[in-house]
Amino acid sequence: MITTNPFDDDKLREECGIFGVSSGETASAIVALGLHALQHRGQEAAGITSWDGNDFHTHRAMGHVAGNFDRDEVIRGLPGESACGHVRYSTTGETSLRNVQPLYAELNSGGFAVAHNGNISNAMKLRRELIRRGSIFQSTSDTEVIIHLVATSSYRTLLDKFIDALKQIEGAYSLIVMTPEGMIACRDPLGIRPLVMGKLGDATIFASETVAFDVVGADYVRSIDPGELVIVTNSGEIRTHRPFGETHARPCIFEHVYFSRPDSIIDNSSVYSVRKAIGAQLAIENPVGADYVIPVPDSGVPAAIGYAQQSGIPFELGIIRSHYIGRTFIQPGDKVRHLGVKLKHNANRALIEGRRIVLIDDSIVRGTTSLKIVQMMREAGAAEVHMRIASPPTKHSCFYGVDTPERTKLLAHKLDIGGMQDFIHADSLAFISIDGLYKALGEAKRADIRPQYCDACFTGDYPTTLTDQDEVVVQNQFELLAERVV
């Protein structure tokens, strides 16, 4: 039986990653390289669609970019000077090839391909309405709703049809769209999901993170603004539209905490520097006497460096991670499953034995990983094990494109900090405060009205309506009432 690695299963999954090239030679090869750099954002599936001036070509596959897009025959089958690609985790829709993006359809105006990072929070309602009007869906992905809204719009031009579709959807989206007229890149009015623009020679490039530009040798130009549409014609002309008027940005704060690679620039800030600042603030708020500061690899490393520098406690690698273990492995029984945990992480016993240690991690989701890590430290002979978390407690589910467990499965929803400390068997447990997190991001504190970021996973303050979720809540309440009546 193949199951998910228990360490990966206890992390918030990183939504998706998108990458597009307009007017560039060997566009699909550049997209494949860009997707390699964004692989951390989605490891279930990958796809690329290209446009050769006459026809669209698509290759989609389950699994990683490597092995699916590193063969010459695949790239040769994706000709053209424009291409877009996608790496995916399933946040909406089943895990199957029919949901792998980019999604493509032949509309009245010609071919239409879309790569989407985010989640449409009224997709179920829109889907029901579209089906009643005669639309036939080929996937269970919320992204396909966009295609049908464009196809059924009564506006005349394709751009107006697309804007009409965007004004009907709620939630979070960064999109790269390809049509016979050119490429469109856009973000939702709050800019919840990231999207940046770069240049590679005469080619215009879009990506979820700047690290993808570094890999392909492109120059970073700027972030796409919240609510902005950037249009690149086949001749290379760039135009912008702002159909939503003035907007108030609420980008996802968890991009800084965990999702983005530390060598990326998000909201004009170095992710690595921000994570070090978070660790330093964590040390100011939650000091502890210890011999070593030890990161939980790899996401806890920058924050641990910041904690160590601020506290004066030496930074050491007390947990060694194997980089040769994939996200899945054989686990034929409980005993072997327990031993399999050490395939990916193992305690540096010679360092830890008899020492007081501070473990630094980016978050606690279900708590199972923290429990295993603390147990591993105990078995290696640690005298004391203290846990410090570089984000506030994750108490609420995300409905904006992050694969979050149901709220009832989040440890911080079920237990207070004392209860969480007992659950993971740590000598102490502490989290950075929400105001401390904002301070590390350069803000004085979290604004009470219209906060600077989307932090709903910590605060429950969702910046948009959640139509589908509200319907589910009402339906559950109705069913519960019906059971009581019976």
How big is the CA angle at 266 (ends 90 and 429), to the nearest 5 degrees? 75
The pLDDT of 300-322, averaged and rounded, is: 96
Which of the pair, 403 or 299, is modelled with greater confidence? Answer: 299
pLDDT of 472 reads 65
Closest to 377 measured CA to CA, from 430, 418, 320, 336: 320
When the pLDDT of each residue in the chain is averaged and rounded to a whole number, the result is: 90
> Six-digit token pair at 357?
């240690």
Active site residue 252: no
The pLDDT of 432-456, averaged and rounded, is: 96
Which range has the worst mean pLDDT, 44-48, 96-100, 423-427?
A: 96-100
Closest to 174 measured CA to CA, from 81, 62, 51, 260: 260
CA distances, 51 to each of 77, 162, 202, 300, 425 (Å):
11, 19, 17, 41, 55
Using the predicted structure, report yes or no on whether residue 481 has a pLDDT greater than 80: no
Using the predicted structure, report yes or no on whether residue 343 has a pLDDT greater than 90: no
Using the predicted structure, report yes or no on whether residue 117 has a pLDDT greater than 70: yes
Beta bridge partners of residue 104, listed in sequence order = 113
pLDDT of 164 reads 98
Which of the pair, 338 or 433, is modelled with greater confidence? Answer: 433
Tens-place pLDDT, residues 315-331:
999 999 877 665 444 44
Using the predicted structure, report yes or no on whether residue 305 has a pLDDT greater than 60: yes
pLDDT of 296 reads 95
Q: Where in the chain is the domain with CATH 3.40.50.2020?
A: 270-459
pLDDT of 340 reads 53
The pLDDT of 287-295, averaged and rounded, is: 98
CA 284, distance to chain mean position in Å, is: 28
pLDDT of 480 reads 43
In CATH, the number for domain 2-251 is 3.60.20.10
Q: Are 276 and 303 in contact (CB under 8 A)?
A: yes
Q: Where in the chain is the domain with CATH 3.60.20.10?
A: 2-251
In CATH, the number for domain 270-459 is 3.40.50.2020
